[in-house]
Structure 1
Amino acid sequence: MAIPHRQLFIDGKWREPVKKKRIPVVNPATEESIGDIPAATEEDVDIAVDSARRALARNKGKDWASASGAHRAKYLRAIAAKITELKSELAKLEAIDCGKPLEEAAWDMDDVAGCFEYYADIAEGLDAKQKAPVSLPMETFKSHVLKEPIGVVGLITPWNYPLLMATWKVAPALAAGCAAILKPSELASVTCLELAEVCREVGLPPGVLNILTGLGPEAGAPLASHPHVDKIAFTGSTTTGSKIMMAAAQIVKPVTLELGGKSPILVFEDVDLDKAAEWIMFGCFWTNGQICSATSRLVVQESIATELLDRLAKWCKSIKISDPLEEGCRLGPVVSAGQYEKIMELISTARNEGATILCGGVRPQHLKKGYFVEPTIISDVTTSMQIWREEVFGPVLCVKTFSTEDEAIALANDTHYGLAAAVISKDLERCERMTKALEAGIVWVNCSQPCFCQAPWGGKKRSGFGRELGEWGLDNYLSVKQVTQYVSDEPWGWYPRPKL
């Protein structure tokens, strides 16, 4: 299956990159080329930013920013309907582009459509919230608040959920009235280019959404540092997020960062072992383990550790690992050769440092091609080991045991990251204590990884700051303006009137 041949999407039209460069696209399950994508450079970024700024200035008084929320909502609903119509095709493209099992990709497409629908609802509600009154202590003044689009926004997104992560940013940005430039990861851009075609077909006004594929240094960096981009929202590695923050600081540009993670899952001895085992696997192996919020550090009470790990190891061996397009696939390849090599090197380092590979850690014997890694469980780790402290971004779970709640919390919080955490126990009072003690922006109780567009998403510490999704996600793209009016007929009277 080949991918559609696309160009950059700027000002509502397909446009060839200025330097006419393209990037090959490789199917990670077969290691075969399936086409290529355009490679934007700084020159293309300048053109896209100019287009976005014009979208906020066209037909003054009727531009995208000053249009009613209800008007913008019509386009968001049209995009959602088109995504639903193309669900099967988009899921297949995503599966061959990033290795995601087809059933997962189809689920993602439902979430994409749902996210556009949700922000259409939010956009419609914006009109009624304008001029929200502010209570003041002086009757001679009245004050209200306006929420206005922040302007032109740069959106830089990752490859693990290519279209969904883009939608988390695009949908609220458009709902707020911003004009956007989306730069998806060069490792998985195909469905984002199809989003461009969807926007063209539904008649989204020119320049409201521009989509530039390309390499980070050549396209992402110029976008992040562009003086006419009013905000950057980034999801990706902590290292890159730090660079974006430094670039934005040069011109005091606001940023939202959703970065890496090394999330813990705490399992207590009162659990149902089968239920716990499935949530542990789902929390770490979903999306081939390539999730920033993956609960990849298992912190388990020592009294049940042996039995639970035995169940996990047996269950891992039953997971169907195959080409993502095969029916029943539950684990596909990781996204690229570079990612595969990084994962295998981290596993090898753990083994050399004295950890035990309980299962996995190798390429599946029946798959001679593709970037496949068997689901891996590693025990006998220490808290100083690289495998315990660094994000793997692959199907790798490492394990430590605890005896007391205090010890469990200490192990869970001993990390630079703070994106997510999970606790599994039948004791809901204990779960409540753990929820309050865990240093994370997201805490799951008796589950791991569910995500709903109505609830806030984001972390703390080196996992970044700001929140996406829900009304919090919309706030990322709104600027708050205070308007205060003097309403008394009496003079202010601060300065004595001169005698005339």
Structure 2
Amino acid sequence: MSRKALPFDGLPVSTATRAFLAERHGLLIDGQWCPALSGATLDTYDPATEMHLATVASGGAEDVDAAVQAATRAFHGPWSQLKARQRAALLVRLARLLERDAALFTELEILDNGMPRFIAGLTVSNCVEMFDYYASAILRIEGVTTTPPPHVTADAEALTYTLREPVGVVGLIVPWNVPVSTLTLKLAPALASGCTVVVKPAEETPLSALALARLIQEAGFPDGVVNIVNGPGETAGAALSAHLLVDKISFTGSTEVGRKIVQAASGNLKKVCLELGGKSPVVVMPDADLELAGPGVSMATFFLQGQNCMAGTRIFAHASIHDELVARMKAFTGFFTLGHGLDAGNNFGPLISGPHASRVLAHVDRALAQGATLVTGGAKLDRPGHFVPPTILTDVRPDMDIFRDEVFGPVMAVHRFETEDVEEIAAMANDSVYGLSGSVWTRSLSTAHKLVSRIRSGQVSINCHGAIATNIPFGGYKQSGWGREFGREGLDAYLETKAVTARL
């Protein structure tokens, strides 16, 4: 018999968070908070208790159009008149305000998304770092001089140089798994470059975007530079992707939705940056340090309950170490404490929703029907909330659905392999439509670097997994996306290059 849920699982929540949740949240358009034109709203729930958190305005195509028009006016108006140092100062001011309100944002991420406290706190501090990083990067946006074309210099002197200019109005479509972090990694470089934005948060997790919008106003950004339109993807997201005044879309989410955005963007051939799905290979060689690999590979799969695109859910374990590795990983799952993220003692939260938990468990059931062996986990906990424990499957063949489809949950699929030939191993690792992340676990630097050079993924780590940071570019090969985020490449994605030649 499951126990009855209590608000916030009976755990303390700050006065600031309670006050924020109690408000009726509108859309931010041209510096004004307003209801959706249709009057529609959506509700957000705590996935750890299934209890109602807040009510938020739910925008449609008309609201998106108003937001895009506001962003267009701001782009050609007051925002374009600010100097680089003034934009940098605003981003630094925003970083300090987020630093001040870190406790509020940490609690909002826990309540809206279900993530454990240590992850929520880390993501908020990383957001502060991102705003600071791109504030400093503004002063490094610079063009170059180059040799003028010969037909111009045939009878006169000339000068040729390049300018870096903002793309224009950008639509930012943000997922639910790390809401404030994913928003910031798009928003910070977009603002640094001089773009204006319309943000479409995930309908499951809109709260941190709304809270950040308030800090943007407090920091002093001109009206219309940042607009927030909550709403379903099939209405608000689709309208933003297709809008002819939007110059670029940056989307993080599933490959299926990414294809729809590409089609919608074709009307005006807007630029598109996509960070999509993954089924990252984790290769554990015979000489791997299993004391390191046991917990390391486990965390590659189970970090954020497996609800992250770079999760290492496709494990290739060499036959000579397979059984010991699996035993160590099973033992490691015992260190996870499942529960509400507000309790700092819990390090494993719920999945985002009931339907998503059902989809994850359907993947497990299908794998078992196809011949996989359940080592641990595999069933929803009998308690309020959408808790699915760490799940390990062995005897998984490469042709099984569990080894090919993105599950986006805490499910590890382990395949035993025999060869030590790097070409054969790389071929197995590359047998996927995805190519976002991956890792190799070995004591041999030669083997490691040979495999890294052959694995077709945007990021491959050695004896660690998912080594991302603000200054390291991140993105995918194949159907894992287009373009890169973070680092200098993340800023370049929001800039155009203009060549200028002057006959003197």
TM class, shorter-chain normalised? over 0.9
Shift of 1:381: 1.2
Decide whether the 8 Å contact of 1:101 with 1:330 is kept in 2. Answer: yes
What residue is the counterpart of 2:501 in the other structure? 484
Partners of 1:271 and 1:24 in 2: CA distance = 47
- Describe the superposition over 1:215-266 as per-residue Cα deviations: whole angstroms up to 9, x where unpaired: 0011000000001111111110000000000111122111011100000111
What residue is the counterpart of 1:80 in the other structure? 95
What residue is the counterpart of 1:134 in the other structure? 146
- How many percent identity over aligned positions? 37
SS in 1 for 2:415: strand
Decide whether the 8 Å contact of 1:378 with 1:396 is kept in 2. Answer: yes
What residue is the counterpart of 2:12 in the other structure? none
What residue is the counterpart of 2:66 in the other structure? 47
Decide whether the 8 Å contact of 1:12 with 1:204 is kept in 2. Answer: no
What does 1:295-310 correspond to in 2, within 5 Å?
Answer: 295-310=312-327
Decide whether the 8 Å contact of 1:157 with 1:236 is kept in 2. Answer: yes
Q: Does 1:391 align with 2:410?
A: no
Decide whether the 8 Å contact of 1:69 with 1:125 is kept in 2. Answer: no
Decide whether the 8 Å contact of 2:395 with 2:416 is kept in 1. Answer: no
For 1:21, which of 15, 40, 46 is the aligned residue?
40
What does 1:150-169 correspond to in 2, within 5 Å?
Answer: 150-169=167-186
Decide whether the 8 Å contact of 2:280 with 2:436 is kept in 1. Answer: yes
Shift of 1:4: 4.7
What does 1:260-299 correspond to in 2, within 5 Å?
Answer: 260-299=277-316
What does 1:56-67 correspond to in 2, within 5 Å?
Answer: 56-58=75-77, 63-67=78-82
Aligned length: 478
Q: Which residue identity is paired with 1:293?
A: M
Q: Which residue identity is paired with 1:98?
A: N
SS in 2 for 1:271: coil
Partners of 2:494 and 2:480 in 1: CA distance = 20
For 2:83, which of 46, 60, 68 is the aligned residue?
68
Shift of 1:125: 2.1
Shift of 1:135: 2.7
Shift of 1:17: 1.0
SS in 2 for 1:408: helix
What does 1:305-324 correspond to in 2, within 5 Å?
Answer: 305-324=322-341
Partners of 1:8 and 1:319 in 2: CA distance = 38
Shift of 1:318: 2.7
Q: Does 1:248 align with 2:257?
A: no
Q: Which residue identity is paired with 1:471?
A: R
SS in 2 for 1:64: helix
Please, which moves more after superposition, 132-141 or 329-338?
A: 132-141
What residue is the counterpart of 2:123 in the other structure? 108
What residue is the counterpart of 1:423 in the other structure? 440
Q: Which residue identity is paired with 1:20?
A: G
Partners of 1:4 and 1:157 in 2: CA distance = 24
Q: Does 1:9 align with 2:28?
A: yes
What residue is the counterpart of 2:54 in the other structure? 35
Decide whether the 8 Å contact of 2:289 with 2:441 is kept in 1. Answer: no
Partners of 1:454 and 1:314 in 2: CA distance = 35
What residue is the counterpart of 2:391 in the other structure? 376
Decide whether the 8 Å contact of 1:322 with 1:331 is kept in 2. Answer: yes
Decide whether the 8 Å contact of 1:98 with 1:335 is kept in 2. Answer: yes
For 1:473, which of 480, 483, 490 is the aligned residue?
490
Decide whether the 8 Å contact of 1:9 with 1:212 is kept in 2. Answer: yes
Q: Which residue identity is paired with 1:407?
A: E
Q: Structure 1: any 5+ residue segments left out of the alignment?
A: 488-500
Partners of 2:22 and 2:161 in 1: CA distance = 49
Decide whether the 8 Å contact of 1:64 with 1:177 is kept in 2. Answer: yes
Q: Which residue identity is paired with 1:467?
A: R
Decide whether the 8 Å contact of 1:377 with 1:398 is kept in 2. Answer: yes
Q: Does 1:460 align with 2:472?
A: no
Partners of 1:148 and 1:183 in 2: CA distance = 24
Partners of 1:226 and 1:158 in 2: CA distance = 20
Decide whether the 8 Å contact of 2:131 with 2:188 is kept in 1. Answer: yes
Partners of 2:334 and 2:424 in 1: CA distance = 31
Partners of 1:445 and 1:149 in 2: CA distance = 36
Q: Does 1:407 align with 2:401?
A: no
What residue is the counterpart of 2:194 in the other structure? 177
What residue is the counterpart of 2:13 in the other structure? none
The alignment's TM-score, normalised by the length of structure 2, stands at: 0.93
Q: Which residue identity is paired with 1:116?
A: F
Q: Which residue identity is paired with 1:74?
A: A
What residue is the counterpart of 2:240 in the other structure? 223
Q: Which residue identity is paired with 2:386?
A: Y
Decide whether the 8 Å contact of 2:438 with 2:466 is kept in 1. Answer: no
Q: Does 1:95 align with 2:110?
A: yes
Decide whether the 8 Å contact of 1:320 with 1:329 is kept in 2. Answer: yes
The alignment's TM-score, normalised by the length of structure 1, stands at: 0.94
What residue is the counterpart of 2:14 in the other structure? none
Please, which moves more after superposition, 237-246 or 199-208?
A: 199-208
Quote the RMSD (CA, aligned, Å).
1.2
Decide whether the 8 Å contact of 1:181 with 1:210 is kept in 2. Answer: yes
Partners of 1:458 and 1:50 in 2: CA distance = 30
Q: Does 1:197 align with 2:214?
A: yes
What residue is the counterpart of 1:339 in the other structure? 356
